[in-house]
Chains A and B, each alone.
Chain A
Amino acid sequence: MNGATPNPSVASLQARFGAAIGRTFVSCGDTIVVVARERSHDVLRWLKETPTEAYDYLTDLTAVEYRDREHPLEVVYLLWSLSQRVLLRVKVELPKEKLLEVDSIVDLWRAADWLEREVYDMFGITFRGHPDLRRILMWDTYAEGHPLRKDFPLRGRFSRAEQTRQALAGAPEANYSLEELSIAEAYHSVPGEMRERLGRQGRPQGVE
């Protein structure tokens, strides 16, 4: 219901960050705050680390593109405070004319790792500072684009035959992580470019 009392964090945010906080509203009992893209990481860090706010649980991280094409893309952060049992929805608007980029929050909540990969895969929004930003739902070499964008056709851009051909040529083992490979002691038997990609992630103990 609109007009219900917003989450008290809104007032604290406006007091602390001032101009970086955009419009706020309440929808169906959820408080929504729009935050400027440049300060998003600072705002989220403050929300997590301040004892009075203590949003220690990242419930979800997703993105929206509205049917109204003029509307910017939105990256949506759903934050939950386990101690206070309060939900806050933080949105960052990304105008489509500019670069679709936002700061990664993996250093704050580890759960953001795969959630941001999914947003990148489906919307093409890159996250600065993400340790391993690659596709997660579609395969690594998927070339048709970002499926959940409104300008992406329902059946994909390539013909069905081409999609089948690319799917059959896909190598599923290319999606292994370093932990899995070190357990299988298979680090040295993977193709070179896969080792490079894994090398960028950093190596765990036990693999020379």
Chain B
Amino acid sequence: MLASYVPLLILIALVAISAVAIVVLSHLFSPTRPTPVKHEPYESGIPPLGTARERFDVKFYLVAVLFIVFDIEVVFMMPWAVAFRQLDILGLGVLGGLLEMIVFVAVLLVGYVYLWKRGALEWD
């Protein structure tokens, strides 16, 4: 059974080798000519003015966090979907599996309705 993982290990080894090789070879063959201007931030060819730290709207953070939560929900759904036919929950067979997933989704649905009503999905 372990033999089926050998191609994966070979792939990992090749990826690691090529990543390292790219970086090492670039360093070997790169002409390094540092000048003061090269270390300054790029601002369309003019000397940089002001700081790059700006305040931005919290809606971006909210969308990112909500994505993570519901993405993990989907992640949990995937192995469940793969093993669905072999499930035998509470002696009910696939019906039990379905009920279990419905419960799972229902819990998350409560949270979804809450954030919807609280206005976290408002973009403007």
Direct A–B touching, Cβ under 8 Å? yes
Interface residues of A (CB under 8 A from B): 171-173, 176, 181, 184-186, 189-190
Question: Which residues of B come within 8 Å of A, CB atoms?
Answer: 45-47, 49-51, 54
**Set B45, B47, B49: member contacting A184, Cβ < 8 A:** B49
Give the docked Cα–Cα distance between A167 and B3 (Å): 69
> Given the complex of chains A and B, what is the CA–CA distance between A189 and B51 in angstroms?
10
Q: Which residue of A lies closest to B53 (CB)?
A: A185
Asked whether A176 lies within 8 Å of B47 as measured between CB atoms, the reply is no
Nearest 3 CB-CB pairings of A with B:
A186-B50, A184-B50, A172-B46
Question: Please, how many angstroms separate the alpha-carbon atoms of A186 and B51 in the complex?
Answer: 7
For A171, what are the chain B residues with a Cβ–Cβ distance below 8 Å?
Answer: 46-47
* Identity of the chain A residue whose Cβ is nearest the Cβ of B51 in the assembled complex: A185
Return the chain B residue nearest A174 by Cβ: B46
Check B49–A181 contact: CB distance below 8 A. yes
| Complex contacts, B46 vs chain A, CB 8 Å | 171-173
- Asked if B47 and A181 make an inter-chain contact with CB atoms under 8 angstroms apart, the answer reads no
Q: A121 CA to B50 CA in the complex, in Å?
A: 29
Residue pair B50, A181 in contact (C-beta under 8 Å)? yes
Taken together as a complex, chains A and B put the C-alpha atoms of A181 and B45 apart, in Å, by 17
A189 to chain B, nearest CB (A): 6
Q: How far is the CA of A173 from the CA of B47 in the complex (A)?
A: 7
CB of B52 to closest CB in A, whole Å? 9
- Give the residues in chain A near B51, CB-CB below 8 Å: 184-186
Q: Which of B45, B50, B54 has the most CB of A within 10 A?
A: B50
Which A residues are CB-close (under 8 A) to B45?
Answer: 172
Q: Which residue of chain B is the closest to A172 with respect to CB atoms? A: B46
Report yes or no: B49 in contact with A186, Cβ–Cβ below 8 A.
yes
A-B residue pairs in contact (CB < 8 Å), sample of 22? A171-B46, A171-B47, A172-B45, A172-B46, A173-B46, A173-B47, A173-B49, A176-B49, A181-B49, A181-B50, A184-B49, A184-B50, A184-B51, A185-B50, A185-B51, A185-B54, A186-B49, A186-B50, A186-B51, A189-B49, A189-B50, A190-B49
Complex contacts, B54 vs chain A, CB 8 Å: 185
Q: How far is the CB of A45 from chain B (nearest CB, A)?
A: 39
Q: Which residues of B contact A173 (CB under 8 A)?
A: 46-47, 49
What is the bound-complex CA distance between A185 and B49, given in angstroms?
9
CA distance A173 to B40 in the complex (A): 15
Report the nearest B residue to A185, measured CB to CB.
B50
Complex interface: chain B residues within 8 A of A184 (CB): 49-51
Other A-B contacts than A172-B45, A173-B46, 12 sampled, CB-CB below 8 A, are A171-B46, A171-B47, A172-B46, A176-B49, A181-B49, A181-B50, A184-B49, A185-B51, A186-B49, A186-B51, A189-B49, A190-B49
Give complex CA distance A185, B47 in Å.
Answer: 15
How long is the Cα–Cα vector from A181 to B48 in the complex, in angstroms?
A: 12
In the complex, which residues of chain A have a beta carbon less than 8 angstroms from the beta carbon of B49?
A: 173, 176, 181, 184, 186, 189-190
Among residues of A, the one whose C-beta sits closest to the C-beta of B50 is: A186
Per the bound structure, the CA–CA distance linking A186 and B46 in Å amounts to: 14
B50: chain A residues at CB < 8 Å are: 181, 184-186, 189
Which partner residue on chain B sits nearest A188 by CB separation? B50
